[in-house]
Structure 1
Amino acid sequence: LGERSIYYDFDKYAIKDQYKTVVDAHGGFLLSHPASKVTLQGNCDERGSREYNLGLGQRRADSVRKVLAAKGVKDSQMETVSFGKEKPHNPGHNEAAWAENRRTDIVYKGE
């Protein structure tokens, strides 16, 4: 489970095909470890208002939650939060930086 981030296109929250295996792997782990819990942290790049990005970050976290729930992961094992543009991976101001910041991070409790 080395991969913990799902990345998105600009202003999108649909999970791209290349990241579906990442979500599937975490779903399998959570199903086989029912005591494990995750926080799905939605993030955005710096463009857009604070309010808009908080909403978009939430939609990103929720998109991962929906896929995990469809695989049978219990609701009690997951929580979502949106950080909007407040927690960038990359502090740069260009497309490469923005692409790194449009993500959902899968964080296991106790890490």
Structure 2
Amino acid sequence: MFKLNTGLILATAALAVAGCAKKRPEVLPPAPTAGPLQEVAPTGPSGPVGGEVVPGSNADFQRSVTSNTVLFGLDQYDIDPAARAILDTQAAWLQRYPDRRITIEGHCDERGTREYNLALGDRRANAAKNYLAARGVNASRMSVISYGSERPAATGSDEEAYAQNRRAVTIVLG
């Protein structure tokens, strides 16, 4: 009986340790070559040609919607009325261009651990995605990524900078 109990305890401990072994990578993927406010030189139907904004491009998206960025409160990921208004304009644009795919980036301010910020950024990006899906945008057109606090929009360690960094950003893919 003693050997059976010892064996069960050792097997349970081994399973518990194995379940905790998975860690997030230390290095994030490289930054995109064109940021949310930049447009790459035209090579196809999604970029500006001759200085004009091509319908359906990321530049057209940014020009047509209220904002490509939704802001959040401290430690929050709920969609408030201001975020709803922004996401409603994004949903309308995305319904006009049903072939366009998007990525929603989740971001946090510098407070909190790396793991917490990555998880919170993911919840923020998914909250925006779920809202857009509820407004009729096909979920298969949307992907999410969390950068946590790794890509701040504003530098500084004050409330003004923190408020700008707690965000979800919608990027139209080329």
TM-score range, shorter chain: over 0.9
- TM-score of the pair, normalised by structure 1: 0.95
Matched residue type, 1:44: C
Alignment of 1:96-107 (within 5 A): 96-107=160-171
Instruction: Give the alignment partner of residue 32 of structure 1, picking from 65, 73, 96.
Output: 96
Once the two structures are TM-superposed, the CA of residue 63 in structure 1 deviates from its matched residue by: 0.3
- TM-score of the pair, normalised by structure 2: 0.62
Once the two structures are TM-superposed, the CA of residue 76 in structure 1 deviates from its matched residue by: 1.9
Q: Which runs of 5+ in 1 are unaligned?
A: none
Higher strand share: 1
Task: Tell me the residue number matched to 1:46.
Answer: 110
Which of structures 1 and 2 has the larger relative contact order (alpha carbons within 8 angstroms, sep 6+)? 1
Once the two structures are TM-superposed, the CA of residue 2 in structure 1 deviates from its matched residue by: 4.7
Count of residues paired in the alignment: 110
Q: Which moved more, 1:28-37 or 1:44-53?
A: 28-37
Return the alpha-carbon distance in structure 1 between the equivalents of residues 82 and 131 of structure 2. Answer: 14
**CA RMSD of superposed structures (Å):** 0.9
* Structure having the higher Rg: 2
Once the two structures are TM-superposed, the CA of residue 18 in structure 1 deviates from its matched residue by: 1.3
Alignment of 1:1-111 (within 5 A): 1-110=65-174
- CA contact 2:66–2:86 (8 Å) conserved in 1: no
| Identity, % of aligned positions | 38
